[in-house]
Amino acid sequence: MSTRTTSPESTSTPAVKQNKTRAIAIGEARPQWWLYVTLGLGLIVVVTPFLWMVLSSLKPEAEIRQSPPTWWPQTLTLENFTELFTRLDFPQFFTNSAVVAVFVTLGNLVFCSMLGYAFAKIDFWGRDWLFRIVLATMMIPGVVMLVPLFVLVSKMGLVNTYAGLILPFLAGPFGVFLMRQFIGALPDELIDAGRIDGAGEFRIFARIILPLCKPALATLGILTFLGSWNNFLWPLVVASSEDKYTLPVALALYSVGQNENQYGLMLAGAVVVVVPVLIVFLILQKHIIQGIATSGIK
């Protein structure tokens, strides 16, 4: 499109210049402090509700209901958390959520990257229509499948089991689409080289492709874990006794309509629920950034 972009100087830019142009590259010719201020202001906007959630979980119920709401707790209390932990069988619900989320995430990472690789790099019989069907199911409103899916799962005898909670989400179209888009960008030469060396497709996938997919796998891992961790309707329907409830289902017990909500417990629950998600995000977000830039060279 633009002939300028191929200008040969680009490869011989001195390091000093590179630093300067990096600042330009983001699309702002102004000094960096300007960006820090803008991003900082934006940060206030995006984290305020989160901070309010954390601070309010430390307030007594009456103060949470106060209008206008208070910002800093007038009375600092841990009663919401102590009540939460005494009233809920917390270890059980946490274990259930963790088991489901870990299996669902691993399943999606493995199965979706496998199919994503096949879609992106192997020209096989039936590829195009299979991809279209997979993509199309992403677009079907989930609620329409709830009843038929539950009837199916109950016919299979999986009601109130971990299998019933996990299997329907073990491999989703979202992950396939994401992995296909990312793997498609990797140079074919890598794969052709592997094929010429006589490596099998699985070996190429496991040894060459997967190590290059770190940013995509990290992204998929974060989003799948988050989705599974927060899933509400399916675990509620499948779990017929409380020992199979996941955290969001258990916490929803305190939401009993506009007037009778126990906000203190709900907010304390929301804070507790978010911690594992944040840990997963903190671990994986670094890989999103590192990934390709360093690994694409080989």
Partner 1 sequence: MSKILRVSVAALAVTSMLALTGCGRSDAAPEGDTSAAAVAEGAATGTITVWAMGTEGEKLSDFAEAFSEENPDATVKETAIPWDAAHDKIATAIAADQTPDVSMVGTTWMGEFASTGALDPTPDTIAADSFFPGAWGTTVVNDVAYGMPWYVETRVMYVNTAVAEKAGVSPSPTTWEELTATSAAMQATGGAASGITLQAGQQGAWQTLMPFVWQAGGEILDADGNLTLDTPEFVEALAYYQSFFTDGVAPKDVPVGTLESDFVAGNIASFVSGPWHVGILNEAGYEDFTLSPLPKGKQLASFIGGSNLAVFKNAENRDGAWKFIEWLSQPDTQAAWYEATSDLPSVPAAWESGALATDPQLAVFGTQLETAVAPPSVPNWEQIATVIDTELEKVTKSGLDPQEAATSIQQQAEAIGTGL
Partner 2 sequence: MSTTILPKSPAPAQQPARGATPAIRRSTPLRRRRSLAAWGFAAPFVLLFLVFTAWPVISSLLMSVTDIKSRDLRDPFNVNFVGIDNFSAVLSDPLFWQAARNTGYFVVVGVPLVMFVSLMIAMALNTGITRLSGFFRVGYFMPVVTSIVAVAVVWRFLLKEDNGIINLALGWFGIDGPNWLGDPNWSMPAMIMMAVWRSMGTLIVIFLAGLQGVPASLHEAAALDGANAAQRLRLITVPIMRPTLLFGAVLTGIGYLQFFEEPFVMTNGGPLNSTLSVSFYIYRQFGFGNYGIASAMSYLLFFAIVLLTLLQFRLLSERDPRPRKKARKASTTTAPEGSTR
Q: Looking only at residues 110 through 139 of this chain, which bind partner 1 when binding is defined by CB under 8 A?
A: 129, 132-133
Total Cβ atoms within 10 A of residue 197: 9
Q: Which two tokens stand for residue 201?
A: 């497709």
* Binding track, positions 162-201, relative to partner 1; x by CB under 8 A: ----------------------------------------
According to the binding rule CB under 8 A, does residue 237 interact with partner 1? yes
C-alpha span between 99 and 94 (Å, rounded): 9
8 Å CB contact between 137 and 74: no
| Shortest reach from residue 91's CB to partner 2, in Å | 21
C-alpha span between 179 and 237 (Å, rounded): 30
User: Residue 30, SS3?
Assistant: coil
| Shortest reach from residue 38's CB to partner 2, in Å | 7
Q: Could you say which of partner 1, partner 2, none residue 259 binds, taking C-beta under 5 to 8 angstroms by partner kind?
A: partner 1
C-alpha span between 212 and 214 (Å, rounded): 6
Q: Which two tokens stand for residue 266?
A: 């709900």
Q: Could you say which of partner 2, partner 1, none residue 197 binds, taking C-beta under 5 to 8 angstroms by partner kind?
A: none
Identify residues 264-283 at the interface with partner 2 (CB under 8 A): 266-267, 269-270, 273-274, 277-278, 281-282
Q: What are phi and psi of 174, to 5 degrees?
A: -55, -50
Q: What angle do CA 39, 43, 45 make, to 5 degrees?
A: 120
Q: Which two tokens stand for residue 144?
A: 């329409």
* Binding track, positions 167-206, relative to partner 2; x by CB under 8 A: xx-xx-xx-xxx-xxx-xxxxx---x--x----xxx--x-
According to the binding rule CB under 8 A, does residue 268 interact with partner 1? no
Query: Where do contacts with partner 1 occur on this chain (CB under 8 A)?
Result: 61-62, 65-67, 87, 129, 132-133, 146-147, 150-151, 153-155, 159, 232-233, 236-237, 240-242, 249, 252-253, 255-260
